[in-house]
Structure 1
Amino acid sequence: MATGTDPSAVAGSTGDPAARGVHHASRAAIRERHLRRDRWWLAPAATAAGLFAFVVYSTWRAFANGDYYAAPYVSPFYSPCLAHNCVPMPAGADWDLFGPWWGLSPALLVLIFPLGFRLTCYYYRKAYYRGFWASPPACAVPEPHAKYTGETRFPLILQNVHRYFFYFAVLVAGVLTYDAVLGFRNADGEWGHMGLGTLVLLANIILIWAYTLSCHSCRHIVGGRIRNFSRHPVRYRMWGWVSALNARHMLLAWASLVSVAVADLYVYLVASGAFDDPRFF
């Protein structure tokens, strides 16, 4: 084309962007809010139902303030028991750090840490943002909110404390590990025994450790800020292990959520006298 030639004079060109199918100022005129025809709503609905069921159950058990210890088992919702009004437990299981002034359920003193860890967890944030707030409800489905600010304002900006809740979650997992070890005793405190509750608490703590160590914050602590992995072979190997767990973070999040509820329910049923704990030896 010669310099100065009018584009409208070129064969097949009209000079009008709209006539050539080029739209710069607006999107295509599609009436539907999205084009998905599958049951996209099923996943966020199931997530919301599962999380809501756990919230209802854990709230009931947290305020129940009873039937959380059946020797040698203690519910993970009430461990460590930090209040003066804890039921009598073996030495070390109840720490009485808050004295007699605390009259509410002891579970309210400890559940804030594991629940805070899960509430600020990257996966759970995605789960309940989609399930409860529809932000967004699913891929390729627009959210109903007219304005999006992300996690830059109060209260969602507090999600950044997740890394600190991780440290408390590790401490709580350590206490629950101690409780699982105590499960190898009988009601009289004699070692070398095992019941069905022992296996329940053992499975629960394994899943809790797997979920906790698969956390993104743990992965960053182990392998973050390293410019050359070859100079840190131990941390690199640990980072590889955590990364393998991190790939299953969603599965471990749900599995540990179910296991902690099952462990609490089992202790509650035994403590309330619904049935006796089967002892293997």
Structure 2
Amino acid sequence: MATGTEPPSLGTGVRGAGRAAIAARHLRTDRWWLAPAATAAGLFLFVVYSTWRAFADSHYYAAPYVSPFYSPCLADNCLTMRQGPNWELFGTWWGISPALLILVFPLGFRMTCYYYRKAYYRSFWASPPACAVAEPHAAYSGETRFPLILQNLHRYFFYAALLVAGILTYDAVLSFRDEDYAWGHMGLGSVIFVVNVALIWAYTLSCHSCRHVVGGRLRHFSKHPVRYRLWGWAGRLNHRHMQLAWASLISVAAADFYVYLLASGAFADPRFF
């Protein structure tokens, strides 16, 4: 006998016996597919570009700039290839691109981000592709099974993202030097690096996990005024999380591409002073 408390079946989908018998997949007449198609195109272009740059293993340092895809450079082959300073935490056994040691953390943070989940769920997996448009899958398990259960690692990738943002901030400070590492100079690359790190911080701090860290699990905000104010700031940033996600994605690719152009000799870095 049914009690009314049984969990819903995961195998019924939108064509289940308990759903309205509507033959049409949806009744929308607008171009609802434009948004998921544009999202898929944007994410696909970034994946192609970042994969090329990650495996290129070259043109990622032009004094005093180091590509955000390769910073910090942890592999020994950074120094042997004369691409600039590195931390040499990995010995000569690591022979492939040093970017693969770094990109796993910011990419893991973005791939598990709540906005990016919505973006690629709708654009690539059609789950669902748009509001009032049914997904084509017969069953739905949510994020309870592999591989989607790995989305729960987002809160841990957040801490790694803070470290990466700190390192990129250090790189932005070091960009105010000339080729001989003398302070007091500013080039176009310095501006690009500062804008990039500002967007990276804004995106990172607008994260839902950040809001939970600073303001979660509190019974009384009145007893924690500092955390309440931080929570409010993070909340205001969170309203622009989607825009910041795209802006920072574009800016980090632009910063890397600028370093590539300088390192490949396409042009010299314009200096303002």
TM-score (norm 2): 0.91
Instruction: Give the Å deviation of 1:31.
Output: 2.3
Instruction: Tell me the CA shift for residue 112 of structure 1.
Output: 0.2
Q: Does 1:116 align with 2:108?
A: yes
Note if 1:159 corresponds to 2:122. Answer: no
The Cα shift of 1:277 comes to: 0.4
State how far apart, in whole Å, the 1-side matches of 2:140 and 2:18 are.
Answer: 20
Partner of residue 195, structure 2: 203
CA distance in 2, matches of 1:243, 1:122: 14
How do 1:6-155 residues align onto structure 2 when only pairs under 5 Å count?
Answer: 27-87=19-79, 88=82, 93-155=85-147
Structure 2 contact 122–130 (Cα < 8 Å) conserved: yes
Cα deviation, 1:27-85, whole Å, max 9, x if unaligned, reads 55432111111000000000000000000000000000000000000000000000000
Match of 1:250 in 2: 242
Match in the other structure for 2:209: 217
Looking at CA atoms only, which structure, 1 or 2, has the larger radius of gyration?
1
Please give the root-mean-square deviation of Cα atoms over the aligned residues, in Å.
1.2
Sort the Cα spacing of 1:27 and 1:167 in 2 relative to 1 into closer, same or farther, 3 A.
closer
User: Which residue of 1 is the match for residue 12 of structure 2?
Assistant: none
List structure 1 segments (4+ residues) > 6 angstroms apart after TM superposition.
Answer: none
State the partner residue of 2:270. Answer: 278
Q: Which residue of 1 aligns with 2:180?
A: 188
Give 1:260's aligned residue.
252
Percent identity over the alignment is 78
Q: Distance in 2 between matches of 1:29 and 1:261?
A: 47
- Tell me the amino acid that sits aligned with residue 261 of structure 1: A
Amino acid at match of 1:167: Y
Distance in 2 separating the partners of 1:216 and 1:28 = 35
CA contact (8 A) 2:60 2:83 kept: no
* Partner secondary structure for residue 211 of structure 1: helix
Q: Which amino acid aligns with 2:124?
A: F
Residue 177 of structure 1 aligns with an amino acid whose one-letter code is T
CA distance in 2, matches of 1:105, 1:162: 25
Length-normalised TM-score, structure 1? 0.89
Q: List alignment gaps of at least 5 residues for structure 2.
A: 1-16
Question: How many angstroms apart in 1 are the aligned matches of 2:83 and 2:58?
Answer: 13
What is the count of residue pairs matched by the alignment? 255
Q: Residues of 1 paired with 2:92 and 2:169: CA distance? A: 27
Matched letter for residue 143 of structure 1: E
Per the alignment, in what secondary structure is the counterpart of residue 69 of structure 2? helix
* 2:176 alignment partner AA: F
Distance 1:160 1:38 in 2: 35
Q: Distance in 2 between matches of 1:35 and 1:71?
A: 57
Tell me what 1:235 maps to: 227
Question: Which ranges in structure 1 are unaligned for 5 or more consecutive residues?
Answer: 1-24
Between the aligned partners of 2:111 and 2:105, the Cα distance in structure 1 is 10
Q: Deviations over 1:102-126 (max 9, x none)?
A: 0000000000000000000010011
Give the distance between the partners of 1:118 and 1:96, measured in 2 at CA.
Answer: 27
